[in-house]
Structure 1
Amino acid sequence: MTETTHTTATATATATDERADLLEALAKQRYFLRFTTRDLTDEQAGQRTTASELCLGGLIKHVTSAERNWVDFILNGPSPTDDFTAMTEADYARRADEFRMLPGETLEGVLAEYEEVARRTDELVAALPDLNAAHPLPKAPWFEADARWSARRTLLHIIAETAQHAGHADIIRESLDGAKSMG
């Protein structure tokens, strides 16, 4: 085996291992988030149990939307609608609907949509030519001006956000009926 062949084989194995690690970490956090909704009715999934506005179904809707939007960012960069500095009150009201179960929504439907977004993300991670490909972040007060995120960094953000909301969901579920997901 030549040095070049060995280096290429090693780089390919490393990239594959990295993608597997990213997907495994994301799958684990998705599992914990979904697990908090086990055996719940639609009404329970929409119930607020803490001082916050959050409910279990709403958290899953939010994580679904966030993951979908970040995958779109990986593929296309920021869209004009991602300029958070230009959002109106109506825009914020629409975004607030991500955090609650709306009339006619079901837990089954929310979970099915999350599963579809997860499938799309997993396919992208497996097929993405370069995890280093980067785009400028959308304009938002919480992002550093002129910052760029690679696909890798964006996937790490999706994992972190999913984990954070899985923790929120665990607290909400324990407040709802005493059931615990983690611990």
Structure 2
Amino acid sequence: MTVNQLTTDQSAETSAVTDERADLLETLAQHREFLRFTTRGLTDEQAGLRTTKSELCLGGLIKHVTAMEQAWVGFILEGPSAMPDFTSMTEEDFAHREAEFTMLPGETLAGVLDAYAEVARRTEEVVAGLADLNASWPLPKAPWFEGQPEWSARRVLLNILAETSQHAGHADIIREALDGAKTMG
């Protein structure tokens, strides 16, 4: 695929999407809301608390999902150059990625949620304007991508949806351990 085939059609509007892209975006929006809902009524301090043995906190999970979605949408538009070369990451690179999972000093839950909303808006804009969900790029180099030479825009969107859903489940466990609140039920 050429870059021109992967660029968005600026005349397309997200609200006008009525095909498979609409189903993907609607499902993704639903799972984003499950994730966001786990933070309802929390303070910044609570959003940064670890409630299990893992390093995960609610604000950190949302930061991670935000960064993941932003990177994969970049991949849809630009291919593997938008992603890190996972085979040559330094300790500093890994430390930066680990910081995605925590609330750093000065970060607020409102700021984290605003950043997530902005990435979601951008994803919806890009997907609405895609000419072809089959357009694909070679995957970046990473041990976990062996045997998968390329992904289509559709496959990337399914990956974003899967990661968002998985982390919404993590967030539900963290929230329940924090104060007993549940996303569902």
1:25 maps to 27
Q: Which of 43, 47, 50 is matched with 2:49 structurally?
A: 47
Contact 1:139/1:145, CA 8 A, preserved across alignment = no
Secondary structure in structure 1 of the residue aligned to 2:151? strand
4+ residue segments displaced more than 6 Å: none
Which consecutive residues of structure 2, in runs of 5 or more, have no partner in the other structure? 1-16
Normalising by structure 2, report the TM-score.
0.89
CA shift in 2, pair 1:81/1:17, >3 Å: closer
Alignment partners' CA distance in 2, 1:35 and 1:66? 19
1:38 maps to 40
Q: Map 1:54-73 to 2 at 5 A.
A: 54-73=56-75
CA shift in 2, pair 1:142/1:43, >3 Å: same
Contact 2:71/2:82, CA 8 A, preserved across alignment = no
Secondary structure in structure 2 of the residue aligned to 1:142? helix
Q: Deviations over 1:47-83 (max 9, x none)?
A: 0000100000000000000000000000000127511
2:66 partner amino acid: T
Contact 2:60/2:101, CA 8 A, preserved across alignment = yes
> % of aligned pairs identical?
74
1:95 maps to 97
Q: Deviations over 1:84-105 (max 9, x none)?
A: 0100111100111000000000
Shift, 1:155, TM fit: 0.3
Which consecutive residues of structure 1, in runs of 5 or more, have no partner in the other structure? 1-14
1:121 maps to 123
Between Structure 1 and Structure 2, whose CA radius of gyration is higher? 1
Normalising by structure 1, report the TM-score.
0.90
CA shift in 2, pair 1:153/1:112, >3 Å: same
Alignment partners' CA distance in 2, 1:21 and 1:123? 14
1:59 partner amino acid: L
1:111 partner amino acid: L
2:162 maps to 160
Q: Map 1:134-153 to 2 at 5 A.
A: 134-145=136-147, 147-153=149-155
Size of the alignment, in residue pairs?
169
Secondary structure in structure 1 of the residue aligned to 2:100? helix
Q: Deviations over 1:105-124 (max 9, x none)?
A: 00000000000000000011
2:114 maps to 112
Alignment partners' CA distance in 1, 2:83 and 2:160? 19
Alignment partners' CA distance in 1, 2:82 and 2:121? 26
